[in-house]
Structure 1
Amino acid sequence: MAIESQDKAKAYWQKNVRLMITLMVIWFVVSFGCGILFVDELNQFQLGGYKLGFWFAQQGSIYTFLAIIFFYAWKMRQIDREFDVDE
């Protein structure tokens, strides 16, 4: 890693951890919240012929996880460039 100073390394790690925590909270809310906790409220609506709560439990959390993976890779590339640690 091409980080020279401890302060810069600490700032890089803090940004990385903050991003991971934010994305994990989003995934938790979508998978656990929409698929389990708020399922009764969401089942009042339909998506593609299925109740929305069921859809989130079966498909929505998977799509959200895939979107989070791509967003994380894109955002980490920006953070790596910001701290001059990209390849």
Structure 2
Amino acid sequence: MDDDTPTEQTSEAENSYWQENIRLLVSLMAIWFACSFGAGILFRDFLDQFMIGGYPLGFWFAQQGSIYIFIALIFFYVVRMKQIERKYDLDD
């Protein structure tokens, strides 16, 4: 049997697609974790010396900033996944 059968090529493409997908998810979740837990909790005391909208920056990240960043990450995920799906010919 030939090593370049369509099944093996498809399997390689599927593996590459899922590797890119998981890498993207892990990266975005790490960014969200750094912003929500890091900026809102761990580095709050340092960030509180800066102000945004009349509130200390650490407090702002804990209350609103991590939510805004999460929403921005969702939009980025949608755009990036469309690019990945086009790359692997999986788009609608």
The residue aligned with 2:4 is: none
**CA displacement, residues 53-75 of structure 1 (integer Å, 9 cap, x when unaligned):** 00000010000000000000000
SS in 2 for 1:5: helix
Larger Rg computed on CA atoms:
2
Root-mean-square deviation (CA, aligned residues, Å) is 1.2
**Who is 2:44 aligned against?**
39
What residue number does 1:23 align with?
A: 28
| Runs ≥4 residues deviating over 4 A | none
Q: Could you tell me which residue of structure 2 aligns to residue 83 of structure 1?
A: 88
Structure 2: runs of 5 or more not aligned? 1-6
* Counterpart among 49, 57, 67 of residue 72 in structure 2: 67
3-state DSSP of counterpart to 2:67 = helix
Partner amino acid, structure 1, of 2:75: F
Unaligned runs of 5+ in 1: none
SS at match of 2:72: helix
1:37 deviates by 0.0
Given residue 10 of structure 2, which amino acid in structure 1 is its aligned partner? S
Q: How many residues align?
A: 85
